[in-house]
Amino acid sequence: MTISVPAEIKKILEEAKGENEWGEFLLNLYAEVKRLRSEEAFKQLARTLTDEDLKAVIESSKEFRERFAFR
Q: Does residue 21 contact residue 29 with C-beta atoms inside 8 Å?
A: no
With bands split at pLDDT 50, 70 and 90, how would you rate the model's confidence at 23? very high
Write out pLDDT tens, residues 27-52. Answer: 999 999 999 999 999 899 888 989 89
Contact 28, 35 (CB under 8 A): no
CB 20 within 8 A of CB 12: no
CB of 20 closer than 8 Å to CB of 28:
yes
The one-letter amino acid at 23: G
Q: Where are the domains of the chain?
A: 19-67
Alpha-carbon 28 to chain mean position: 11
